[in-house]
């Protein structure tokens, strides 16, 4: 169990607090850019640009905190419905950030992956994504997943299509389909289970993010708007995660006394 270290008040012995494992895989719904800009009397895209610094802070923190995977929701499959001007600034920003950050991520041992249906993007952008992924593919310190044109339902349907294909070609029988075989076709397949989902911007919803992966994730919501997110806020979320009792369907007593 992950919990608060016990307090050895009645003994003279020094009891080392049990090391806290911390989350292996954290995902963030980076929300609130538009409102942050509007509060400052600026146009919404000013907030998207400001949000890039928060992405850097999140990556920095994840590396320091030994988080193995960080999955950031950058653009949802529904975000295409926004005004054309905003969508095009977001695409441009994605391009610029890939140009300016890919080498730095590589130098810092970060493996970059983009999850989502990138076929809808401009071919030059897709090429840039593939190049950055190939350059960083052997890095081990942190896997940084950028969810772009991503939808949780798309992810599930996509996995179902691959499984259906295996059945159609006879490689797999319907009876062999189970949660484990299905999971291997989800976009985050090779990563640790999602432990913690953070959403900034004050809304308490998933907005079609990692639907399959959220099954047993701990959820942390904060009113902080994404451009104001920093390492301290990330630390608060991790501290909160570290004192939760994750029961996975068991009772609290079972966790405290294994075998009971």
- Residues making contact with ligand IPE (CB under 6 A): 29-35, 73-76, 79, 90, 201, 203, 205, 207, 226
CB of 208 to ligand IPE, least distance (A): 8
Instruction: Please tell me the distance from the alpha carbon of residue 222 to that of residue 200, in angstroms, as a whole number.
Output: 5
Contacts of 29 (CB under 8 A, 6+ apart): 73, 197, 198, 199, 200, 201, 206, 207, 209
Q: Is 48 annotated as contributing to ligand binding? A: yes
Q: Is 141 annotated as contributing to ligand binding? A: no
Indicate the pairing of strand 196-199 with strand 218-221. Answer: parallel
Q: Which does 246 bind (CB under 5 to 8 A by kind): ligand IPE, Mg ion, none?
A: none
With H, G, I as helix, E, B as strand and everything else as coil, classify residue 156.
helix
SS3 content of the chain, % helix, strand, coil (to 5): 45, 15, 40
**Per-residue contact track with Mg ion, 159 to 188, x per CB under 5 A?**
------------------------------
Among 79, 95, 139, 208, the one annotated catalytic: 79
CB of 93 to ligand IPE, least distance (A): 9
Residue 165 gets which letter from DSSP? H
Q: Is 41 annotated as contributing to ligand binding? A: no
Q: Is 205 annotated as contributing to ligand binding? A: yes
Residue-wise DSSP of 44-87:
HHHHHHHHHHHHHHHHHHHHHTT-SEEEEEEEETTGGGS-HHHH
Does the annotation mark 31 as catalytic?
A: yes
Q: Residue 49 or 246: which CB sits closer to ligand IPE?
A: 49
With H, G, I as helix, E, B as strand and everything else as coil, classify residue 1.
coil
31 near Mg ion, judged by CB under 5 A: yes
Q: Residue 90 or 237: which CB sits closer to ligand IPE?
A: 90
Instruction: Please tell me the distance from the alpha carbon of residue 148 to that of residue 117, in angstroms, as a whole number.
Output: 7
Q: Is 199 annotated as contributing to ligand binding? A: yes
Q: Which does 30 bind (CB under 5 to 8 A by kind): Mg ion, ligand IPE, none?
A: ligand IPE
Stretch that binds Mg ion, among 24-32, 85-93, 135-143, 222-230 (CB under 5 A): 24-32
With H, G, I as helix, E, B as strand and everything else as coil, classify residue 123.
helix
Binding region for Mg ion (CB under 5 A): 31
Active site residues: 31, 79
Residues making up the annotated binding site for substrate are 32-36, 44, 48, 76-78, 80, 82, 199, 205-207
């Amino acid at each position: 169990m992950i919990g608060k270290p016990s307090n050895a008040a009645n003994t003279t012995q020094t009891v080392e607090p049990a090391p806290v494992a911390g989350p292996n895989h954290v995902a963030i719904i980076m929300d609130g850019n538009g409102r942050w800009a509007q509060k400052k009397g600026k146009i919404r895209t000013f907030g998207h640009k400001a949000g890039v610094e928060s992405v850097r802070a999140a990556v920095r923190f994840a590396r320091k905190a030994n988080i193995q995977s960080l999955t950031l929701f950058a653009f949802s499959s529904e975000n295409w419905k926004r005004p054309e001007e905003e969508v095009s600034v977001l695409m441009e920003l994605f391009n610029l950030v890939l140009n300016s950050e890919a080498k730095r991520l590589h130098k810092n041992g970060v493996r970059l992956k983009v999850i989502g249906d990138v076929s809808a993007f401009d071919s030059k952008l897709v090429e840039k994504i593939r190049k950055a992924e190939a350059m960083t593919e052997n890095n081990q310190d942190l896997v940084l997943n950028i969810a772009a044109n991503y939808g949780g339902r798309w992810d599930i349907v996509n996995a179902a299509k691959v499984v259906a294909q295996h059945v159609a070609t006879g490689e797999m029988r319907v009876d062999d389909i189970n949660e484990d075989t299905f999971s291997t076709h989800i976009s985050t397949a090779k990563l640790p289970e999602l432990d913690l989902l953070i959403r900034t911007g004050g809304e308490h919803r998933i907005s079609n993010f990692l639907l399959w992966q959220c099954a047993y994730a701990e959820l942390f919501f904060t009113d902080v708007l994404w451009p104001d997110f920093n390492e301290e806020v990330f630390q608060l979320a991790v501290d909160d995660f570290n004192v939760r009792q994750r029961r996975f369907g068991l009772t609290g007593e079972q966790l405290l006394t294994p075998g009971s």
